[in-house]
Amino acid sequence: MSNHPRRRVITKVLVSAAIALGAGLVAAAPAAADPHAIDTSPNPFGVLGCNCRQTAPADSPQSRQEISRGIREGLAVSVPGLPAPAKPGQPRP
């Protein structure tokens, strides 16, 4: 048996590994953090915040309705690999 087929396989493996490594390096997203963003407030998330508008006061009936609607929609979503959600009035397994 000659070494020619073995060399061809080894070459293919090395080229494939080089391509996979190169693709992994190109696709890697750079991550950075500001090490000097230290806040002395009791907020555990430091300087993170939200600038979104609040649609209703926290204890308002509208807010409760939005929360209930979100829970209903979340329970009605089917997730691949899990049993289908129960219909209203149907007992849950």
Q: What is the pLDDT of residues 20-63, one digit of tens each?
A: 888 777 666 666 666 555 556 666 666 666 677 767 777 888 88
pLDDT of res. 33: 62
The CA distances from residue 38 to 7, 32, 41, 82, in Å, are 56, 15, 9, 43
pLDDT band at residue 89 under the 50/70/90 scheme: low
How many other C-beta atoms lie within 10 A of the C-beta of residue 35?
Answer: 6
- Is residue 78 within 8 Å of 85, Cβ to Cβ? yes
pLDDT of res. 30: 67
Residue that wins the pLDDT comparison between 4 and 30: 4
pLDDT at 4 over 80: no
- Residue 17 identity: A
pLDDT of res. 14: 92
pLDDT of res. 57: 76
Phi, psi of 89 (to 5 degrees): 85, -10
